[in-house]
Amino acid sequence: MSNSAAAAGKSGFKAMFTLYLAMMCVGMGQTVVFAILPMLGRELHLDLLVFNLPFSDIVIEPRELAITSLSALTAFVFFVVAPKWGRLSDRWGRKPLIIFGLFGYVAGTLAFNGVAYLGLSGALVGTTLFVCLIISRAFHAVVMSATHPASAAYMVDVTSVYERTKGMGKLQACNQLGVMVGPALAWFVTFNYLAPLYIQAAVALIVGLLVCLYLPAIPPANTTGRKQAKLAYFDPRYRKFIILGFIIYSLLGMVQQTLGFYFQDILAIDGVRAAQLFSSAMVVSSIAILLAQFGVVRSYSGLPMGLLRIGLPFMLLSYLLLANATALWMLYLAMGLFGFGMGLTGPSFTASATMAVESHEQGGLAGLIGAIAGLGFMFGPLIGGGLYRLSPSYPYWCSALVMTVVILSLSILDKSRKK
């Protein structure tokens, strides 16, 4: 084990637990807004926006796409800056950037909530409100995106090659758990549409303080302080994992961003009730993630790609069930299958990719993987919002089709290697 691993090992459970909390907090922060933004956006009348193009008679009515574009913008900013934070963590150390991202999340949330409050009170309306929301979400994404790549690189630093699959599996399971738990906070819209975001900001503040106290600092991987060459997205060593990650997170973004609308429209209920039921569905997904992690991943001793092949069919079944859902129990069952599949697939491609690069490149790679997740969350909501305009079930039929192609492609590749 390296000196970095020995340094982290001194604090044992507390150190690892705070790292897991940090990654879980990142997942929560990325998706808590997904659960409330559809209903919040309609409350702010963003779906009624009309844009008149200058010097023409063209009128654009984006409807729900105006709401999902806010999430897409956040994801795009994350895609741009996450690799930079990853490379900086190689030079400056992991812990400072983990802390910066957590406290930055608090500041970004307060900025977004301030703008949204002005919109709810009527002080900001229309295009002005929309632009201010975009600016606040962009700022939020820039500062909070430092935590994910730094946390992932920290785990690589403190685990041996033989322990890495399980270590990254636990870390990514915590991230995926956060991804599912975040929307569960939507239950608190009973008090106020912005209450879930304030609660998540408080969680980020507490986790940031715990990281300050209990996570040991380890020496930077790049001790020269010089800039390392940028890793290419399509480096042959790990490009297939980048592609897989993009597809998985695009479908995740498509599903999560449209489900708020779906619950409200399929069940014919108001926004508050839809947020509460969506919150409950996310709890079901979170439980399924834990079952996958503790029931399968912990006892799994094969190559991490094997977990991917097990998990993808569960996700395919969830998409098909969502596309045909007509009752609440079907939605819950679909989200349970979805969570179980994500619990298996999430850690697999990440752990596989880390074994393909050197130690001084782990921060850069973690940044790329985080960026790919951000890119997926950018395209997913945009495509999902556009498809939802055509028919509420189209995002899920599209997801099922893409997942079928992925499963068949992996099967064909396996057969070609065996020949």
CATH of the domain at 372: 1.20.1250.20
The segment with the largest mean pLDDT, out of 51-55, 258-262, 318-322, is 318-322
Query: What does the alpha-carbon distance between residue 241 and residue 223 come to, in Å, rounded to a whole number?
Result: 28
pLDDT of residue 406 exceeding 90, the answer is yes
β-sheet bridge partners, residue 51: 60
| Residue of higher predicted confidence among 265 and 377 | 265
pLDDT for 162 equals 62
Q: What would you measure as the largest C-alpha separation in the chain, in angstroms?
A: 67
Q: 195-214 and 12-43 are packed helices; what angle lies between their axes, rounded to 10 degrees?
A: 160
Of the candidate ranges 3-7, 180-184, 218-222, 301-305, the one whose mean pLDDT is the lowest: 3-7
Query: What does the alpha-carbon distance between residue 393 and residue 265 come to, in Å, rounded to a whole number?
Result: 11
For residue 2, being part of any structural domain is answered with: no
Q: Going by C-beta distance under 8 Å and a sequence separation of 6 or more, which residues neighbour residue 273?
A: none
pLDDT for 2 equals 47
Confidence of residue 164 (pLDDT cuts 50, 70, 90): low
For residue 383, being part of any structural domain is answered with: yes
pLDDT of residue 7 exceeding 60, the answer is no
Domain that holds residue 35: 8-418
Q: Is the dihedral of CA 7, 8, 13, 15 positive or negative?
A: positive
pLDDT for 160 equals 72
Q: Going by DSSP bridges, is the β-strand pair 59-60/51-52 parallel, antiparallel, or unpaired?
A: antiparallel
pLDDT digits (tens, 9 = 90+) for 257-310: 788 789 989 998 887 788 788 878 878 888 888 888 778 877 777 777 788 888
Residue range 342-351: average pLDDT? 78
pLDDT digits (tens, 9 = 90+) for 19-49: 999 999 988 887 788 778 877 888 898 888 8
pLDDT of residue 183 exceeding 80, the answer is no
pLDDT for 223 equals 56
Q: Is the dihedral of CA 356, 408, 281, 45 positive or negative?
A: positive
pLDDT digits (tens, 9 = 90+) for 218-246: 877 655 555 566 777 788 888 888 888 89
In contact, 353 and 365? CB cutoff 8 Å: yes
| Residue of higher predicted confidence among 356 and 417 | 356
Query: What does the alpha-carbon distance between residue 376 and residue 38 come to, in Å, rounded to a whole number?
Result: 18
For residue 3, being part of any structural domain is answered with: no
Its pTM surpasses 0.75: no
Of the candidate ranges 144-148, 175-179, 331-335, the one whose mean pLDDT is the lowest: 175-179
Residue range 341-362: average pLDDT? 77
pLDDT for 325 equals 94
pLDDT for 142 equals 92
For residue 170, being part of any structural domain is answered with: yes
Residue range 112-137: average pLDDT? 93
pLDDT for 251 equals 92
pLDDT digits (tens, 9 = 90+) for 54-70: 777 777 777 777 887 78
Query: What does the alpha-carbon distance between residue 215 and residue 209 come to, in Å, rounded to a whole number?
Result: 10
Confidence of residue 1 (pLDDT cuts 50, 70, 90): very low
Other beta carbons within 10 Å of 210: 18
Beta strands in 219-319 (DSSP E): none
pLDDT for 166 equals 67
Residue range 167-191: average pLDDT? 77
Mean pLDDT score of the chain: 83
pLDDT of residue 9 exceeding 60, the answer is no
In contact, 235 and 358? CB cutoff 8 Å: no
pLDDT for 272 equals 79
**Tally of structural domains, the chain:** 1
Which tokens sit at 58?
């063209």
pLDDT for 407 equals 93
- The amino acid occupying position 216 is P
CA atoms within 13 A on the CB side of 214: 18
